[in-house]
Amino acid sequence: MDWLNLISIQSMELLSALFIFVIGLGALFVISLFVVDISQTKDAIRHNFPVIGRFRYLFSRLGEFFRQYFFAMDREEMPFNRAERDWVYLSSAGVDNTIAFGSTKPLNVPGTVLFINTPFPTLDEDAFHPPPVLIGPGCREPYEAASLIHISGMSYGAISIPAIRALSHGARLSGCWLNTGEGGLSPYHLEGGCDLVFQIGTAKYGVRNQDGSLSEEKLLELAAIPQVKMFEIKLSQGAKPGKGGILPGRKVTEEIASIRGIPAGRDSISPNRHPEISNFSELLDFINRIRHITGKPVGFKAVVGTHDWLEEMCEMIHQCGTNCAPDFIAIDGGDGGTGAAPMPLMDSVGLPIKAALPKVVDILQRHGLRERIKVIASGKLINPSETAWALCAGADFVVSARGFMLAMGCIQALKCNKNTCPTGITTHNKRLQRGLNPLEKAQRIKNFVGKIHYGSGLIAHSCGVPHPRALRRHHCQIVQANTLPVPLDELYPYQEAQPEYQLSATAKRSA
């Protein structure tokens, strides 16, 4: 047995030597860090507190994780709190999304929406699905859409191939449209066979000439694709009004560059507005040019700041005839989101959707254009109550990007612009993308849309109407600063079309 004891002694000596070596290596590493930190002058914390100062940055990074999972209450986080995210997760997973023991949502906070139930709610046999809405009735190829909620613009490039595939298949299963975003039309948008809205951004990606101008030839090619149902001109978006789209160079692959018509590997930054659109006359001309070429409905997307421009645009529409009007306006709230945007614009520019939407609807109504121009609402509207509010305020449709990202499994890691998205949605890292199964996520998207419809229907029936599109402003109230709710139709009284606009619109249509 002496040889066993000898082996044991030798093993212990080897382990002791290895331990001493590791300790020495660690000490050498700490000393090296100490020398580096105390020698540099760029970072005062690391200079004054060598090595230890580095933990500040580590804890700052970890704090984001610990707040989300351990410390934040269900209704505290931004931009979407845990309760909102959990509703989307459970709904898209197709499991029970009911709650117990009362709401955790404080109901006396100013801005809270409360729906006014009737003592005699709509019976199931008297309820029916919301009727479809026709967009662009004067076009050669008008478009009829039934879904209440649709997928807002997310460009291929900003999000990954598996994410685009999931959205395409999910949109077809759900019966909703998919907006391509300003990054152009990829094969993955077409893969699922869904209806598409092609967004024309300020850089004209996908329909641009080499000088950045609009290519009518490429526009005709797109219009010939049956899946492309409408065209949306992006004037501005909620996260960065007055600033063009931003795609970091690390996300501009050879394929993305080919689709967009730009150099690979370089930051893709769009102009802050369309160079050929500097006034409303040019905007209407641009809309009608695209509509004439494509024969399909054309509208625009914008963030609302001042409302004077809408008044001016409506006046100009009456001068040229209602046929020159946009077929739809997509109102993006200043609370919209994106993968990359300057904080001053994201935090402080543009009206939130709850302030902008009712005013836009009222202006169109006063000018007798509400039926001619359909209204699409966007901006943190990811659950049935927000969808029902938008319909009460006067929207025809709701669109969402982040709601569908959450339905695909987004965990709100806030890494969309880093190419390190842990769920594979906003990254081109193949390893991270492997966790996103497009067909499985497509089913989750279908479930999400179904629950939006179901929940909006519950609210509508509680208010005594047969379907969500029948909701009106008197069906909801908004909590004020004194904690008392005020009916939405008192805050924004119903508008009647002014007589001169009624006559003008009728006369011009008959002409």
Two tokens, residue 137: 């009735």
Q: What integer is the mean pLDDT of 12-16? A: 72
The Cβ of residue 95 has, within 10 Å, a number of other Cβ atoms equal to 9
pLDDT confidence of 416, banded at 50, 70, 90? confident
Give mean pLDDT, residues 179-202. 94
In the chain, % of residues over pLDDT 70: 88
Mean pLDDT along residues 210-224: 91
DSSP state of 71: I
At 228, which CATH number?
3.20.20.70
Domain-located, residue 96: no
Q: What is the pLDDT of residue 2?
A: 59
Residue at token pair 């023991």: 101
Pair (142, 247) in one structural domain? yes
**d(Cα 282, Cα 313) in Å, to the nearest integer?**
11
Does residue 183 surpass a pLDDT of 50?
A: yes
Domain boundary among 47, 71, 95: 71
> What are the pLDDT digits (tens) for 102-139?
888 888 899 999 999 999 999 988 889 999 999 999 99
Mean pLDDT within 355-377: 95
In a domain, 348, yes or no: yes
Mean per-residue pLDDT for 399-427? 86
What digits encode the pLDDT tens for the residues 433-463?
888 899 999 999 999 999 999 999 999 999 9
- Do 25 and 144 have their domain in common? no
Residue scoring higher pLDDT (13 or 201): 201
Same domain, 133 and 44: no
- Torsion over CA: 294, 296, 297, 300 (sign): negative
Same-domain check for residues 64 and 166 = no
pTM: 0.86
Co-location of 271 and 402 in the same domain: yes
Structural domain span for residue 271:
124-510
Residues 54 and 148 placed together within one structural domain of the fold: no
Residues 60, 190, single domain; the answer is: no
pLDDT digits (tens, 9 = 90+) for 270-314: 888 898 898 889 999 999 999 999 999 999 999 888 888 899 999
Burial of 48 from C-beta contacts in 10 A (0-12 / 13-18 / 19+): exposed
**Percentage of the chain surpassing pLDDT 90?**
50
CA atoms within 13 A on the CB side of 219: 24
Nearest Cα to 355, choosing from 403, 312, 304? 304
CB-based contact 178:196 (threshold 8 Å): yes
How far apart are the C-alpha atoms of 509 and 138, rounded to whole Å? Answer: 11
Does 84 fall in a domain? no
Q: Which residues pair with 179 in a beta bridge?
A: 197
Residue 212: per-residue pLDDT: 83
- pLDDT value for 316: 93
For residue 129, the 8-state DSSP code is: P
pLDDT > 60? residue 97: yes
Q: Residue 362: what pLDDT?
A: 95
Query: Residue 409 domain-assigned?
Result: yes
Q: How many domains does the chain have?
A: 2
Are 27 and 151 members of one domain?
no
CB 132 within 8 A of CB 370: no
Structural domain contains residue 440: yes
Question: Confidence band (pLDDT; 50, 70, 90) for 350?
Answer: confident
pLDDT of residue 504: 46
How sure is the predictor about 508, in pLDDT bands with cuts at 50, 70 and 90? very low
Q: Do 255 and 396 fall into the same domain?
A: yes
| 158 and 60 together in one domain | no
Give the confidence band of 66 by pLDDT, cuts at 50, 70, 90: low
Supply the DSSP string of 214-255, one letter for each residue. B-HHHHHHHHTSTTEEEEEEES--TTSTTS--EE-GGG--HH
Rounded-to-10 torsion of CA 159, 161, 164, 170: -130
User: Which is more confidently placed, 36 or 125?
Assistant: 125
pLDDT of residue 64: 66
**Would you say residue 268 has pLDDT above 80?**
no
Within-domain flag for 99: no
Q: Using CA atoms in the order 170, 172, 177, 180, what is the torsion angle rounded to 10 degrees?
A: 70
Query: What pLDDT score does 389 carry?
Result: 97
Considering the domain boundaries, does residue 311 fall inside one?
A: yes
3-state secondary structure at position 477:
strand
Residue scoring higher pLDDT (504 or 103): 103
Per-residue exposure over 430-464, b if at least 16 CB sit within 10 Å of its own CB, e if not: eebbeebbbeebbbbbbbbbbbbbebbbbbbbbbb
502 pLDDT exceeds 60?
A: no
Model confidence band, residue 469 (pLDDT cutoffs 50, 70, 90): very high
Q: Where is average pLDDT lowest: 146-155, 231-240, 453-462?
A: 231-240
pLDDT of residue 68: 67
Kindly report, residue by residue over 67-96, the tens digit of the pLDDT: 666 666 666 677 878 888 888 989 999 998
pLDDT at 6 over 60: no
CA angle 475, 494, 143 (to 5 degrees): 85
**pLDDT higher than threshold 70 for residue 366:** yes
To the nearest 10°, report the CA torsion of 51, 55, 57, 61.
150
Within this chain, do residues 140 and 61 fall inside the same structural domain, yes or no?
no
- Flag whether 91 is in a domain: no
184 and 38 both lie in a single domain: no
Domain boundary among 71, 93, 110: 71
Q: What is the mean pLDDT of residues 364-392?
A: 95
Average pLDDT (17-40) is: 78
Residue 507 pLDDT: 42
Query: How much is the pLDDT for 74?
Result: 66
Q: What is the pLDDT of residue 397?
A: 97
Q: 483-495, pLDDT tens digit by residue?
A: 999 999 999 998 8
Q: How many helices (H) and strands (E) does the chain have?
A: 18, 15
Strand order of the sheet with strand 476-479?
Answer: 113-115, 476-479, 485-487
Residue 506, pLDDT > 60, answer no
Instruction: Assign 510 a pLDDT band (cuts: 50, 70, 90).
Output: very low
The total of other beta-carbon atoms located within 10 Å of residue 43's CB is 13
Q: How far is CA 190 from the centre of its chain?
A: 20
**Antiparallel, parallel or unpaired: β 476-479 and 195-200:** unpaired
**Nearest CA-CA partner of 372 in 267, 274, 287, 246:** 287
Instruction: Please report the pLDDT score of residue 509 as a whole number.
Output: 40
pLDDT above 90 for 503: no
Q: How far is CA 325 from CA 4, 329, 498, in A?
A: 93, 10, 18
